[in-house]
Amino acid sequence: MELLLAAARTSFDGSSGGQEGDLAAREIHEIQQCQYAERSVEKYRSLMVRYLRWVVENKPELATETFTTSLKLDKSDSPTKKSILATFDSAPASPPLHFANLEPDGFLKWVHSRKNQ
Does the model's pTM come out above 0.85?
no
What pLDDT is recorded for position 39? 74
| Residue 75, number of CB atoms within 10 A of its CB | 5
Kindly give the confidence (pLDDT) of every residue in the chain, 117 residues in length, as a single tens digit, with 9 standing for 90 and above.
454 545 555 544 544 455 666 777 777 767 666 656 667 888 888 999 999 999 999 999 999 999 999 999 999 999 999 999 998 877 778 899 998 998 988 888 888 888 877
- CA–CA–CA angle 41, 42, 43 (5° rounding): 90
Helices (H), the chain: 2-13, 18-33, 38-58, 65-70, 81-88, 104-115
